Structure 1
């Protein structure tokens, strides 16, 4: 996995994880990478210091206030979607197309889609976004 520091055309900074540099290029070209703050799809990589493994084991650095703020914002977005949108599971892709084409009621939906399906929806002009990840369960944290 590769972590990139990214910024949108409006100057909002964020980071993204990609399987390879080619995966980043493909996702940006397909319009799948967007700013989590404003939704802009004009995204570029920023200069980043490489992570170098050292011989000493150190305590992890405490989370910066901006990281904690972003995690809280993502948690709120996820909670809002889960509480207010219709979960369609595997039926998400078909219903998203139907809504886009005016064949179904316009409403908030979420569900399951493969990366290829998301790419196809984006190419068709259907607005889709990845759901923020669920926070880890307290039982899973050391």
Structure 2
């Protein structure tokens, strides 16, 4: 998976995850990448800093505490954001509503097009990956440990957002 910082024609900046760079290019060219704030599909990659992970076997003895005055500086810095970059409560609500609707569409698509396998999800996903079971879309439940093992072994899985509380 790869994360990109994206920007729409209205200069809203957001991040999105893709399987790889080609997946982003394909989805963007088909108009499938939408700004979560305004719904625009006129989206381009924004400048982003590289995310270079530390080696797992190297421990850092340096701990940088946050200074007591940091909160004052953060408030001052956020107060200097240009008007064009500020989001009103209405913009935030519109973005959240759009995100909620998008998650519902995604969940409904999965429920319509894929087979529910319940708690057998991890085993069935692995069997499909290993060619022991029919290649098809499935969904179900998995523990955190099962999920980590599947991802570590290269089995492509994605979470399906649970919307029960949001729908009520």
TM surpasses 0.5: yes
Gaps of 5+ in 2: 7-12, 22-49, 52-73, 76-88
Q: CA RMSD for the aligned pairs?
A: 2.9
Aligned residues: 96
Aligned to 2:105: 76
Q: Point out the structure with max Rg over C-alpha.
A: 2
Aligned to 2:134: 105
SS at match of 1:88: strand
- Matches of 1:40 and 1:78 in 2, distance apart? 22
User: Structure 1 residue 72: deviation in Å?
Assistant: 0.7
Aligned to 1:20: none
- Matches of 2:157 and 2:19 in 1, distance apart? 11
| Residues 5, 14 of structure 2: 8 Å contact kept | no
CA 1:133 to 1:13, structure 2 compared with 1: closer, same or farther past 3 Å?
farther
Whether 1:8 and 2:3 are equivalent positions in the alignment is: yes
Gaps of 5+ in 1: 1-6, 15-33, 51-60
- TM-score normalised according to structure 2 size: 0.49
For CA contacts below 8 A with separation 6 or more, give which structure has more relative contact order. Answer: 1
